[in-house]
Amino acid sequence: MCDVLCKLCLLIIAFICPPLAVGLHMGCNNDFCINLLLTLLLWLPGMIHAFFVIIMKEPLTTYTTRVVHVYH
């Protein structure tokens, strides 16, 4: 239920400010930069791209870190 509600909220945000919705959904990556560029050129392509990213792509939820052990 929360997943559907979260996506619905993101779609509403995407209607108002597409780069913000993509940034909240995916983080600051290539999709965000593409959406920002599309929104700056014309608002409608940015909104369509934001809807596509929110509906079709999984959000960035896992972060991988690499631990380096230093032995003295």
Q: How many CA atoms lie within 13 A of 1 on its CB side?
A: 0
Does 36 fall in a domain? yes
Measure the CA–CA gap between 61 and 72, rounded to whole angstroms: 35
Measure the CA–CA gap between 12 and 45, rounded to whole angstroms: 16
> What's the total number of domains in the chain?
1
Does 12 fall in a domain? yes
Does 70 fall in a domain? no
Residue 66 vs residue 44, higher pLDDT: 44
Does 28 fall in a domain? yes
pTM for the whole structure: 0.77
Q: Domain span at residue 9? A: 2-56
Residue 2 vs residue 47, higher pLDDT: 47
Long-range Cβ contact pairs of 40-45 (< 8 A, separation 24 or more) = 43/18
Measure the CA–CA gap between 57 and 34, rounded to whole angstroms: 15
Does 31 fall in a domain? yes
Q: Which of 20, 11, 18, 21 is nearest to 38 (CA)?
A: 18
| pLDDT tens per residue, range 5-50 | 889 999 999 999 999 999 999 888 899 999 999 999 989 999 999 9
Does 29 fall in a domain? yes
